[in-house]
């Protein structure tokens, strides 16, 4: 339990990931679904950033001319978070564009309703 309290950033990110996942499963509104997906992405960034931190060290930008591996935090998670952000932005934009097209066609954002209308359309 004390471990969980020390790793509270990671614990929070896992819970946040769960919240986003639940949003993705339970929401019927497609835009709210993608908000859930974005919450999941954000949880991943929090996890990565937390794993990169080391107590008492500074951000990985040369400070006071010190070149020492024990003076800076780990730079790799920063690069990974950057990749994650770019992919998340692209996926969100693409899926929202698809949702917009669906809305223009069916005049609804409710997934169940869209599925029902699609079936009716196909059945004819």
Partner 1 sequence: MSENKSFWQRLKSWIDGEEILIDADKYISTRERKERVSYEKAVSMERLRSNSTLYRVLCVAITVIFIAVMLRVVIDLPMFGDPNGVTVNEVGQRYLEQGIEETGAINFVAGMILDYRAFDTFGESNVLFMAVIAVLMLLQRDKKNTSAAEDQEMAEDEVFDSQDSKLILKKGAKCLAPVVILYGIYVVLNGHLSPGGGFSGGSIIGAGLILYSAANGQKKMQTFFTIKTLTRISVACLLTYCGCKSYSFFTGANHVGWEIPKGTPGAILSSGFILPLNICVGLVVACTMYGFYALFTKGEV
31 binds partner 1 (CB under 8 A): no
Residue-by-residue DSSP string for 93-120: HHHHHHHHHHHHHHS--BHHHHHHHHHH
* Shortest Cβ 72–partner 1 spacing (Å): 5
103 binds partner 1 (CB under 8 A): no
Coil/strand/helix, residue 74: coil
124 binds partner 1 (CB under 8 A): no
Residues present in the chain in total: 124
58 binds partner 1 (CB under 8 A): no
64 binds partner 1 (CB under 8 A): no
* Of residues 47, 49, 42, 75, the one with CA closest to residue 61: 75
Q: Rounded to the nearest 10 degrees, how much is the dihedral formed by the CA atoms of 49, 55, 59, 64?
A: -170
70 binds partner 1 (CB under 8 A): yes
Please give the residue ranges that form the binding site for partner 1 (CB under 8 A): 3-4, 6-11, 14-15, 17-18, 21-22, 25-26, 50-55, 57, 59-62, 67-72, 74-79, 82-83, 85-87, 89-91, 93-94, 96-98, 100-101, 104, 112, 119, 123
């Amino acid at each position: 339990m004390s471990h969980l309290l020390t790793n509270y950033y990671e614990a929070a990110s896992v819970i946040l990931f769960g919240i986003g996942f639940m949003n993705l499963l339970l929401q019927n509104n497609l835009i709210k679904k993608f908000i859930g997906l974005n919450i999941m992405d954000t949880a991943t960034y929090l996890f990565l950033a937390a794993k990169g931190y080391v107590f008492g060290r500074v951000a990985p930008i040369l400070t006071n001319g010190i070149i020492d591996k024990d003076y800076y935090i780990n730079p790799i998670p920063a690069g990974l978070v950057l990749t994650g952000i770019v992919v998340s932005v692209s996926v969100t934009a693409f899926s929202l564009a698809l949702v917009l097209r669906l809305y223009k066609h069916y005049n609804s954002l409710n997934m169940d309703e869209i599925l029902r209308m699609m079936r009716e359309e196909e059945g004819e």
